[in-house]
Amino acid sequence: MKVKKYLDNKLSQGAVHVTLIDPSRQEPEVAGRLAETAQEVGSDLIFVGGSAGMTQYTLMGTVDMVKRRATIPVLFFPSGTESLSLNLDAFLFLSMLNSGNTQFVSGAHAKIALVLKRLEMEIISAGYIMIEPGMKIGELGEADLVSRDNFWKAIGYALAAEYMGMNYVYLEAGSGAAQPVPAGMIRAVKREISIPLIVGGGIRTAIDARRVRQAGADIIVTGTIIENAGYRERLRSILSALKE
């Protein structure tokens, strides 16, 4: 429970920021540098994963370099591949609640659960809810996307996650989405649940981050911004908006 405790402690102090690193987007050395910068500017956690194109080799290389350069916890963000790295601090057990394919809800999880137990891997569970546009992950996960104005549907899935005993609710607009999950939806969901709320997808600026945070997100995930030039400054401004 080390990472969960770390997160609980961080959450008691304010917003938590997560940097998502996709191993298929850069060489492991570069990923290590990105993780180091993320930690320097105040990111609290690293997720590694998120791409269907990832191989076991790139995943392991990336996690090793990230662990070498950063000391903040590194979690695996599963992405529908069979790859697994042993050098992780915890495994994010994401169930895509609005997938039409049971593999993404619980099937892939059942295949890997005993291995994770034998490895004594810390598990952090989240009900993963895909919101429009969903992007690649929504498509791959065969999600029945929640439309951006259907707050009731989002609330239903979020409460279902809580009642199923999951640690977190995760609202995902998809990596590279033109806009984040709508603030009104975040507010509506947050009002009904009593477990922490993770929000990701399409958060690129300090204004986006502040809006998502003020609407009620406890944990804010950004990915794409570190893949572009000027990422240090962008990340720094997002972090100062979140930690102000």
User: Residues in the site for ligand 1GP, rule: CB under 6 A?
Assistant: 20, 172, 174-177, 200-203, 221-224
Closest to ligand 1GP by CB, 125 vs 222, is: 222
What is the biggest distance separating any 2 CA atoms in the chain, rounded to whole angstroms?
44
- Provide the sign of the torsion angle of the four alpha carbons 17, 204, 21, 239, taken in this order: negative
Q: Please answer whether residues 144 and 99 qualify as being in contact, where contact means their C-beta atoms are separated by less than 8 angstroms.
A: yes
Cβ of residue 60: shortest distance to ligand 1GP, in angstroms? 21
Comparing CA positions, the residue from 142, 139, 137, 135 lying closest to residue 102 is 142
- Whole-Å CA distances, 53 to 29, 31, 82, 202: 18, 16, 11, 20
Q: Residue 135, SS3?
A: helix
Closest to ligand 1GP by CB, 110 vs 233, is: 233
Closest to ligand 1GP by CB, 61 vs 223, is: 223
Closest to ligand 1GP by CB, 104 vs 111, is: 104
Q: Collect all residues with Cβ–Cβ distance below 8 Å to 81 and sequence separation of at least 6.
A: 52, 54, 55
Cβ of residue 224: shortest distance to ligand 1GP, in angstroms? 3
Please tell me the distance from the alpha carbon of residue 93 to that of residue 189, in angstroms, as a whole number. 21
Cβ of residue 117: shortest distance to ligand 1GP, in angstroms? 26
Cβ of residue 17: shortest distance to ligand 1GP, in angstroms? 11
Closest to ligand 1GP by CB, 106 vs 224, is: 224
Say how many C-beta atoms besides its own lie within 10 A of residue 209's C-beta: 24
Cβ of residue 28: shortest distance to ligand 1GP, in angstroms? 19
